[in-house]
Every structure is written in C-alpha cells, then in structure tokens.
Amino acid sequence: MQDLAALREEVDIWRGLEARAREAVELLELATADEEPDEEVIAGILQEAADLENELERLEFRLLFSGEHDKGDAILAIHAGAGGTDAQDWAEMLMRMYLRWAEARGYRTEILDSLPGEEAGLKRATIGITGPYAYGYLRSERGVHRLVRLSPFDAAHRRHTSFALVEVWPDIQSDVEVELRPEDLEIEVFRASGAGGQHVQKNATAVRITHLPTGITVSCQNERSQTQNREVAKKILRARLYQLEIEKQERELARLKGAHVDAGWGNQIRSYVLHPYKMIKDLRTGYETGNVEAVLDGRLDDFIEAYLRSTLGEKS
C-alpha cells in the first residue's frame, strides 16, 4: 500500500503539471485573441510558464534516481584516514557539512554512532538520514575526500594533507531480506567512551557486533540502553551486508565486461584546497568551485547534480 501511494503521488504530480501547462496555453490563446491583450494577464502567463519550467527541471532531475533504493533513507559513515589529528578534525568538518546539507533539505538526522579523536575531531561517525531521495543524493558522496590546508594543530603552521573516507548505504527496511543468523553474530557490550554522564560511565550500554562470516564489525554507543544500541547496531550491519552483496554483483559484472573496479581506500573523489588557494574540485566530473565556505556549510547540490548527470551519460 505504501508503494501504491507513492506511485499515485508521483503520477498526480506529473498530471498536475500537465493540467497547469494546458490551462496556461488556453489562457494565452484567449488573451492574444484580443487586438489589445491585457498586459497583466500576459505577465501572469509568463510567470506561470517560468514556474512550470523550474518545476519541470526539478522533476526531470528526479528521473536520475533510477536505483532500487534511491527514493529511500540513507546511512552515512565517515572515517578519519591518513593525517593524524588533522584527519580526525577533517572527519568532524565533513560530518558538520552533511548535517547542514540535510538540514537545508528538511531531512531528519540522527547520529547513530561516533568515536571522538584523542586531541580533536572524530575517528568515525555514523549518521542516519531520513527523507525523500536521501540515498539517491548521498550515494554520489561515497569515496575518499582530501583536504589541503594550513594545519591548526601544527605549531609551525605548515600545510598538511589529510583524508577521510565517506561510506553510504541504503537504510534497508524490514521488507528487504538480509538474514542475520544468531550463530553468525558475536555480540560484545562495553562502557561507552567519551563524555556521557554518570549513566554512560557506570553501565556497559555500548554494543559491538561482529559478523563472523564477513568480519564486518559495527558498534553503537549513542543510545541510553543496551537494547537500543543493539538494535541500531543491527540496523547498520544489515545495511552494510546489503551493500556488500551489491558490490559483489558489481564486481562480477565489471569482470565480465573486462573493466576494473577499485573499491579500495585510494578511490579519491574530491579535493578541498584551503591553501595556497581556495578551490574544491570533484575529480570524477571536473566540477569545481572557489566558494569553499559555502560548500563546507552544506551547499553540496551542485556537486551531487554534476555527478548524477555524469553517470546518466555513462549509462546512455
């Protein structure tokens, strides 16, 4: 019923756009039938035409979301890479960027898990992002993000390069079968690290789950109870196992096609340069901007759209 309601809503949007266009054409024919057409009416029709064009562009862009889970929610994980404290600070900057982006789109966010760095920033963070087409947008962010800047953690204030890995998975709903057999799971509980108050420090509420067949390990320590942390950890594990299966299928398809797919750490997708000049460039599409502050404040849509349009070109 949910799928049916979503499809009906989609059809209604396009039919509504068609009806508005037809009415505008009819009104224009009536207005221009007079020898002296009403200028206000003509101006209104031109404004409606501009609004229809903008709406059509927005709806056409949605056609780029052709994946099975593009319309659904997403789970985004950030891992500090090479670069020490600078990389951990970079991971926190990226988390802020994605939270701001999601907030601007009206998405709901929840920090499912995070581990602070020793001096600053984050070693890792996992965020649940809920809203229409969240995964469709964010799947373009998967890969290594590189930062070049004058390090605030270097006494000599030298230029440093640091890296962070961004992973994105669809938030698999309960109707999608990803089997988690109890015998395949090793579940550990421990005390949550970092600030959290007396409750967190005295009770072992944090949960770590290892999936023995694959070696995938997930953890959650942000919820109040061990039961809540366990459920969130299973949710993340289910998403990662689903993504692992998708990647297996993609590798097999690439092998049959004779193409090489590098899913390793070196898959750098974007460079953020703050010194000696300011420039952010996506290495996959060539799209770049000098408005670094705006991008780090969450204005990512231009990069996302450029990537999605480039992948459409590859498929066509």
pLDDT tens figures, 166-213? 999 888 764 456 778 889 999 998 887 665 444 445 677 899 999 999
Report d(CA 15, CA 214) in Å as an integer.
Answer: 47
pLDDT of 66 = 77
pLDDT at 259: 47
Token representation of residue 126: 């996992």
Whether domain 74-176+266-315 has CATH 3.30.70.1660: yes
| 3-state SS class at 258 | coil
**Residue whose pair of structure tokens reads 């003509």 in the numeric block:** 42
Average pLDDT value for the chain: 85
Burial of 83 (0-12, 13-18, 19+ CB in 10 A): buried
Better-predicted residue by pLDDT, 224 or 252: 224
Distance CA 268, CA 222 (A): 30
pLDDT digits (tens, 9 = 90+) for 55-74: 888 788 778 887 878 888 99
Q: What is residue 86's DSSP assignment?
A: H
CATH of span 182-237: 3.30.160.20
